[in-house]
Amino acid sequence: MPTVEANGLRIYYEVHGQGFPLVMIMGLGANLDWWPPRIVERLSRRYRLLLFDNRGAGRTDKPGGRYSIRLMAGDTAALMEAVGIRRAHVLGVSMGGMIAQELALNHPERVERLVLACTTCGGIRSVPPAPRALAWLSARNVPPEVFRERQLKLLFPDEFAARHRQEIEEYWRRAGRWPTPADAYRRQLAAILRFNSYGRLPRIQAPTLVMTGDRDILVPPKNSEILASRIPGARLEVFPGGGHGFIAQFPERFCRVVEEFLG
């Protein structure tokens, strides 16, 4: 399996396709297998994709101690350096979008264009999830079938889940290959809860696309409006009917919008 030493840990990564690099950063507790194959296949026709497992997730090292979003952005910058990518487009979803923000703020020379999907600036200026959604996100000491059902409700509107059972089964099969241990999950979650970029957002220099589903109960769409209003020149794209997992609901439209923005 391809791993590289970067920022003091072994990071698992994959490269797909040719062209200008596109670094894709996954969210809380997720590894690179969470990217829908249709998205990877389509975007790799046009870009050289760098996919990887974040600190604490998948096949990457899971050290103890305190995690931060800035630390994970440092992991990303170090990985880019280690695999010979000087500058790239950067696409982050959920926690990955927070990491992408920190990468653009602290390593602007690395970021050509920025895509932020279903993410937030954090802090008191952000719009939190409903208490029930936050409780579901935090609770890991429940039976696997209960955890899975809660995760489904966090990711997808009920009617989508009911109509696409086979696709969702495949999604869970991929996602479950390399589960994130509970302690590493808690470290990532704590990093999310400490994250706050609101006051620094006007410093982002990269052209930015912000994307959200209008039925996201985990990161309410108002958060994307805040990001788009604070980042100079940012564009906002809303996916009607989309939940937190809107990229899996609408992979073709997602890819089309990303390609049109990145060029």
| Residue 261 confidence (pLDDT) | 98
- Closest by alpha carbon to 28, among 104, 124, 165, 136? 136
Q: Residues 243-249: what's their mean pLDDT? A: 96
Q: Residues 86-112: what's their mean pLDDT? A: 98
**Range list of H helices, the chain:** 37-43, 69-82, 95-106, 131-138, 144-155, 158-163, 165-175, 182-194, 222-230, 246-249, 251-262
| Residue 248 confidence (pLDDT) | 95
**How far is the C-alpha of 25 from the C-alpha of 31, rounded, in Å?**
9
Quickly tell me which residue has 């954090």 as its tokens: 122
Domain range for 219: 3-262
| Residue 82 confidence (pLDDT) | 98
Of residues 149 and 232, the one with the higher pLDDT is 232
Could you tell me how many residues make up the chain? 263
pLDDT band at 246 (very low <50, low <70, confident <90, very high): very high
Would you call 6 helix, strand, or coil by DSSP?
Answer: strand
CA angle 12, 18, 20 (to 5 degrees): 90
Q: Is residue 140 over pLDDT 70?
A: no
| Residue 150 confidence (pLDDT) | 79
Q: Is residue 162 over pLDDT 90?
A: no
Counted domains in the chain? 1
Q: Is residue 73 over pLDDT 70?
A: yes
172 within 8 A of 165, measured Cβ to Cβ: no
DSSP-derived letter for residue 122 is B
260 within 8 A of 235, measured Cβ to Cβ: no
Q: Give the least confident one: 10-14, 112-116, 152-156, 246-250.
A: 152-156
Q: How many CA atoms lie within 13 A of 9 on its CB side?
A: 22
**How far is the C-alpha of 98 from the C-alpha of 92, rounded, in Å?**
7
Please list the residues that pair with 48 across neighbouring strands: 21
Q: Residues 23-39: what's their mean pLDDT? A: 96
DSSP-derived letter for residue 216 is -
- The CATH number covering residue 186 comes to 3.40.50.1820
**How far is the C-alpha of 119 from the C-alpha of 224, rounded, in Å?**
7
- Closest by alpha carbon to 209, among 149, 256, 148, 249? 256
